[in-house]
Structure 1
Amino acid sequence: MRVSFYYLFVLLILTGSTMAQEQVHPQSTQYEWPTDPAVKEKLENWRDQKFGMIIHWGLYAVPGMIESWALCSEDWVSRDTNSNYCDFKNWYWGLKKDFNPVQFNPDQWAQAAKDAGMRYLVFTTKHHDGFCMFDTKETDFKITNGPFAGNAKANVAKYVFEAFRKQGLMIGAYYSKPDWHSPYYWWPMYATPDRNNNYDIRKHPWRWNRFKEYTYNQISELMHDYGSMDILWLDGGWVRPLETVTDEVRAWGAAIPAWSQDIDMPKIAEMARKAQPGLLIVDRTVHGPYENYQTPEQRVPDKQLEHPWESCITLGDNWGYVPTDKLKTPSKVIHQLIEVVAKGGSLLLGVGPKPDGTLDAPVVERLAAIGNWLKANGAAIYNTRPIQGYQSGKVYFTQSKNTRSVYALALLDENSPVPATIEWDINVPPKGSKIKLLSTGANVKYVINGEKVKVNIPAAVQKMKGVPALTFEFIVAAD
Structure 2
Amino acid sequence: MYKFDREKYDKRMQWFTHDRFGMFIHWGLYAIPARGEWVRSTEEIPEEDYIPFFNEFNPKDFDPKKWARLAKQAGMKYAVLTAKHHDGFCLFDSALTDWKVTNTPYGKDIVREYLDAFRAEGIKVGLYYSLLDWHHPDYPAYGDRQHPMRNNITYKDKPYNFDNYLDYMHGQVRELCTNYGKLDMMWFDFSYDDLTGEAWRASELVRMVRSLQPDIIIDNRLEVSGSGFGSIATDEPLEYSGDYVSPEQIIPQTGFKDSRGRNICWEACITMNDNWGYCAKDKNFKPAEMIIKKLVECVSKNGNMLLNVGPDARGNIPAESVEILEKIGAWMQKNSDSIYGCGGCDLPKPENGRITKNGKTLYYHIMENSIGGIPLQGISLDEVESIRLISDGTEIKPLKNWIVENYPDVVFVQVSNTVKLPDDIDTVIAVHTK
TM-score by shorter chain over 0.5: yes
1:46 aligned residue:
16
The Cα shift of 1:241 comes to: 5.8
1:179 aligned residue:
133
Q: Which moved further from structure 2: 337-346 or 451-460?
A: 451-460
Q: SS where residue 64 of structure 1 aligns?
A: coil
Q: SS where residue 385 of structure 1 aligns?
A: coil
2:95 aligned residue:
137
The Cα shift of 1:441 comes to: 0.5
Of 291, 299, 309, which residue of structure 1 is paired with 2:250? 299
Output the CA distance in 2 between the equivalents of 1:278 and 1:365: 34
Superimposed CA distance per residue, residues 334-362 of structure 1 (whole angstroms, 9 cap, x where no aligned partner): 00000000001000001111111122233
1:455 aligned residue:
413
1:434 aligns with 2:386: yes
The Cα shift of 1:46 comes to: 1.0
1:313 aligned residue:
270
1:208 aligned residue:
162
Of 116, 127, 135, which residue of structure 1 is paired with 2:85? 127
Q: Which moved further from structure 2: 227-236 or 417-426?
A: 417-426
1:55 aligns with 2:25: yes
Q: 1:179 to 1:112 in 2, by over 3 A?
A: same
Q: SS where residue 133 of structure 1 aligns?
A: coil
Amino acid at match of 1:399: K
2:374 aligned residue:
422
Output the CA distance in 1 between the equivalents of 2:79 and 2:98: 26
Q: 1:384 to 1:111 in 2, by over 3 A?
A: same
What residue ranges of structure 2 are gaps of 5+ in the alignment? 151-156, 225-229, 231-237, 257-262
Superimposed CA distance per residue, residues 410-468 of structure 1 (whole angstroms, 9 cap, x where no aligned partner): 224xxxx898843343344535543211112112233462443332122379375x631
Q: 1:119 to 1:419 in 2, by over 3 A?
A: farther
Q: 1:224 to 1:279 in 2, by over 3 A?
A: same
Contact 1:342–1:398 (CA under 8 A) maintained in structure 2? yes
Superimposed CA distance per residue, residues 11-39 of structure 1 (whole angstroms, 9 cap, x where no aligned partner): xxxxxxxxxxxxxxxxxxxxx99516444
Output the CA distance in 2 between the equivalents of 1:38 and 1:107: 33
Q: SS where residue 391 of structure 1 aligns?
A: coil
1:109 aligned residue:
67
Q: SS where residue 382 of structure 1 aligns?
A: coil
Output the CA distance in 2 between the equivalents of 1:298 and 1:430: 42
Q: 1:125 to 1:365 in 2, by over 3 A?
A: same
What residue ranges of structure 1 are gaps of 5+ in the alignment? 1-31, 80-84, 245-260
1:360 aligned residue:
318
Output the CA distance in 1 between the equivalents of 2:244 and 2:265: 5
Contact 1:128–1:177 (CA under 8 A) maintained in structure 2? yes
Q: SS where residue 392 of structure 1 aligns?
A: coil
Contact 2:26–2:310 (CA under 8 A) maintained in structure 1? yes
Of 387, 390, 405, which residue of structure 1 is paired with 2:361? 405
Output the CA distance in 2 between the equivalents of 1:390 and 1:264: 43
Of 173, 181, 189, which residue of structure 2 is paired with 1:235? 189
Kindly report which structure 2 residues correspond to 1:377-396, keeping only aligned pairs within 5 A, or say none: 377-396=335-354
Contact 1:395–1:408 (CA under 8 A) maintained in structure 2? yes
2:293 aligned residue:
335
Q: 1:215 to 1:460 in 2, by over 3 A?
A: same
Contact 2:352–2:366 (CA under 8 A) maintained in structure 1? yes
Output the CA distance in 2 between the equivalents of 1:160 and 1:186: 31
1:278 aligned residue:
215
Q: SS where residue 123 of structure 1 aligns?
A: strand
Q: SS where residue 434 of structure 1 aligns?
A: strand
Q: How many residues align?
A: 400
1:289 aligns with 2:239: yes
Output the CA distance in 2 between the equivalents of 1:89 and 1:429: 68
Amino acid at match of 2:208: M
Amino acid at match of 1:386: G
Output the CA distance in 2 between the equivalents of 1:297 and 1:348: 10
Q: 1:96 to 1:174 in 2, by over 3 A?
A: same
Contact 2:47–2:135 (CA under 8 A) maintained in structure 1? no
Amino acid at match of 1:380: S
Amino acid at match of 2:106: F
Q: 1:193 to 1:62 in 2, by over 3 A?
A: same
Output the CA distance in 2 between the equivalents of 1:157 and 1:36: 32
Q: 1:123 to 1:35 in 2, by over 3 A?
A: same
1:469 aligns with 2:421: no
Output the CA distance in 1 between the equivalents of 2:382 and 2:239: 42
Q: 1:206 to 1:320 in 2, by over 3 A?
A: closer
User: Could you tell me the TM-score, scaled by structure 1's length?
Assistant: 0.77
1:446 aligned residue:
398
Superimposed CA distance per residue, residues 63-101 of structure 1 (whole angstroms, 9 cap, x where no aligned partner): 21120x2333xxxx4x4xxxxx56x54322331112110
Q: 1:304 to 1:204 in 2, by over 3 A?
A: same
Contact 2:140–2:162 (CA under 8 A) maintained in structure 1? no
Q: Which moved further from structure 2: 32-41 or 339-348?
A: 32-41
Q: SS where residue 408 of structure 1 aligns?
A: strand
Q: 1:104 to 1:432 in 2, by over 3 A?
A: closer
User: Could you tell me the TM-score, scaled by structure 2's length?
Assistant: 0.85
Contact 1:55–1:351 (CA under 8 A) maintained in structure 2? yes
Output the CA distance in 2 between the equivalents of 1:390 and 1:164: 38
Kindly report which structure 2 residues correspond to 1:5-44, keeping only aligned pairs within 5 A, or say none: 35=5, 37-44=7-14
Q: Which moved further from structure 2: 281-290 or 425-434?
A: 425-434
Contact 1:51–1:120 (CA under 8 A) maintained in structure 2? yes
The Cα shift of 1:277 comes to: 1.2
Output the CA distance in 2 between the equivalents of 1:93 and 1:205: 22
1:323 aligned residue:
280
Superimposed CA distance per residue, residues 196-249 of structure 1 (whole angstroms, 9 cap, x where no aligned partner): 797xxxx9998111111001100001000111101111002227666x6xxxxx
- Identity of counterpart residues, as a percentage? 31
State the Cα RMSD in Å: 2.8
Amino acid at match of 1:62: I
